[in-house]
Amino acid sequence: MEKMKIGQILVKGGVINEKQLKFALEKQEREGGRIGDILISLGFITDREVIKALTEQASDE
């Protein structure tokens, strides 16, 4: 089973919406960087929310 991506986990959890994720992914494609860091810099999420999503992703392995 393929592990869920961080953005998918955040959308599924209601932390961000699809539009916010798409915006962040486009920025990532243009500028590079980690999606979590980009979402934080855009003010969409907190570092705590990224850690929670990473923990969820790791537990799905």
In the chain, the number of structural domains is: 1
Global pTM reads 0.89
Domain of 51 in residue numbering reads as 6-59
C-alpha to C-alpha distances, 18 to 1, 7, 12, 59, nearest whole angstrom: 23, 9, 10, 23
Closest CA to 10 of 59, 49, 58: 49
Domain-located, residue 43: yes
pLDDT of residue 61: 63
Mean pLDDT, the chain, as a whole number?
A: 94
Predicted confidence (pLDDT) at residue 2 exceeds the cutoff of 90: no
pLDDT digits (tens, 9 = 90+) for 6-41: 999 999 999 999 999 999 999 999 999 999 999 999
Domain-located, residue 28: yes
Domain-located, residue 51: yes
